Amino acid sequence: MFGFLKKSPIESKSNPVEDMTKKSGWISRLKSGLARTADQISDLFGRGGKIDDDLYEELESILITADVGMDATRFLLAELRRQVKAQRLTEALELKEALAHDLIKLLKPLAKSLETDLHKPCVIMLAGVNGAGKTTSIGKLAKYFQGQGKSVLLAAGDTFRAAAREQLMEWGARNNVTVIAQQSGDAAAVIFDAVQAAQARKIDIVLADTAGRLSTQNHLMEEIKKVKRVIAKALPGAPHEVLLVLDANTGQNALSQVKAFDDALAVTGLILTKLDGTAKGGVIAAIAKAHPIPVRFIGVGEGLDDLRPFVAEEFVAALLGLDE
């Protein structure tokens, strides 16, 4: 019934046996990350029975607890009631199936993959609050793009802490890619140099790290806007992608981060990290409803392979605990 899980694009080139192992590892991590929500859904619908007001009410509270948020929850419930009426559904399990379809419909528009072939170098800038997973995601993205046969260069644009530069250098060494860094200097200057170096060396992709900041820190938001303007001076049209990195554990707060960073930087894509932890995952639905921006990648761990493109069907299956 729910056999809609698709093959992820990253696996298209390699060995099929290896792919199956990697894929099942990925799915099981995602599933265990979202298990809290999936367990509640399974408990609710596992009882079977008929569709009634209690079922709707319990579903509403599960969705809100799962960080789906009031707006998206109300929207989903209204959609479900409409379908139940139109299709004359009566069984709880039919409601679960309708929920899966509605969630996929809501999330599918966010599953747009990042196109890096249109520009050379394609300059990708990462932003987000402190500790969201920017630097770690850059490490994983370097591996991901190299896996597609692309050359990558990293820009150590977090110039606030020496440790941040070293952290990026380490990811660079692990992936065997060049990291452009300066002992001192500002973020804009470092990334400007990196873009020029990438042009000179005919590199395909530049990944630019930036320091974590809260959207309420006005001077830091001004600083990152300047970083973006300076990148455009090094290469007109760049940055080609502004990725906002969100920690899935921040729940509804992620939505305010999306709004604030989008206002400041015109964010073109999101990365949702730490879906392997205690995250409830529903915030993607809240974002899809209130402020839709493509979710380019999701992260389910600290390892190099723990980042993949967002696939709506795969995500919904994990969130609702559906069988493949």
Ligand X SMILES: Nc1nc2c(ncn2[C@@H]2O[C@H](COP(=O)(O)OP(=O)(O)OP(=O)(O)O)[C@@H](O)[C@H]2O)c(=O)[nH]1
What are the residues binding Mg ion (CB under 5 A)?
Answer: 134-135
Taking CB under 6 A as the criterion, the residue among 34, 68, 155, 164 binding ligand X is 164
Q: Which is nearer to ligand X, 129 or 286 (CB)?
A: 129
Please, what is the minimum distance in Å from the beta carbon of residue 128 to Mg ion?
9
Taking a C-beta distance cutoff of 8 angstroms, is the pair 273, 130 a contact? no
Long-range contacts of 221-225 (CB under 8 A, 24+ apart): 221/260, 221/264, 223/186, 223/187, 224/127, 224/187, 224/264, 224/265, 225/264, 225/265
Map residues 238-277 to x or -, x wherever contact with ligand X holds by CB under 6 A. -------x---------------------------xx-xx
CB of 73 or CB of 210, closer to ligand X: 210
Picked from Mg ion, ligand X, none, the partner binding residue 298 (CB below 5 to 8 A depending on kind) is none
DSSP 3-63: ------GGGSSS-HHHHHHHHHHHHHHHHHHTHHHHHHHHHHHHT--B--HHHHHHHHHHH
Distance separating alpha carbons of residues 11 and 76, to the nearest angstrom: 32
> Per-residue x/- mask for ligand X, residues 119 to 158, rule CB under 6 A?
---------x-xxxxxxx---------------------x
Closest approach, Cβ 19 to ligand X, in A, equals 21
Q: At closest approach, how far in Å is the CB of 150 from ligand X?
A: 21
Q: What is the dihedral of CA 283, 132, 262, 140, to 10 degrees?
A: -100
Is the distance from CB of 122 to CB of 128 less than 8 angstroms? no
In the complex, least distance from residue 309 CB atom to ligand X, rounded to whole angstroms: 14
299 binds ligand X (CB under 6 A): yes
Q: Which two tokens stand for residue 268?
A: 């073109």
Residue 300, contacted partner among ligand X, Mg ion, none, CB below 5-8 A by kind: ligand X
Phi-psi region of 291 (alpha: psi -120 to 50; beta: other; left: phi over 0): beta
Nearer to Mg ion, 40 or 135 (CB): 135
Q: How far is the CB of 126 from ligand X (least distance, A)?
A: 8
Complex with Mg ion: residue 135 or 159, whichever CB lies closer: 135
Cis peptide preceding 309, ω within 30 of 0: no
- Judged by beta carbon distances under 5 to 8 A according to partner kind, the member of ligand X, Mg ion, none in contact with residue 294 is none
Asked whether 128 and 206 are in contact (CB, 8 A), the reply is: no
The residue to which tokens 């209690």 are assigned: 54
In whole angstroms, the minimum distance from the beta carbon of 234 to ligand X comes to 22
Please, are residues 321 and 9 in contact by the beta-carbon 8 Å criterion? Answer: no
Tell me which of ligand X, Mg ion, none is bound by residue 274, counting a contact when its beta carbon lies within the kind-specific cut-off of 5 to 8 angstroms.
ligand X
Q: For the CB of residue 261, give the shortest distance to ligand X in the complex, in Å.
A: 13
Q: What is the DSSP letter of 178?
A: E
Rule CB under 6 A: is residue 14 a binding residue for ligand X?
Answer: no
Question: Which option in ligand X, Mg ion, none does residue 131 bind, with CB closer than 5 to 8 A by kind?
Answer: ligand X
Please give the residue ranges that form the binding site for ligand X (CB under 6 A).
128, 130-136, 158, 164, 212, 245, 273-274, 276-277, 299-302, 306
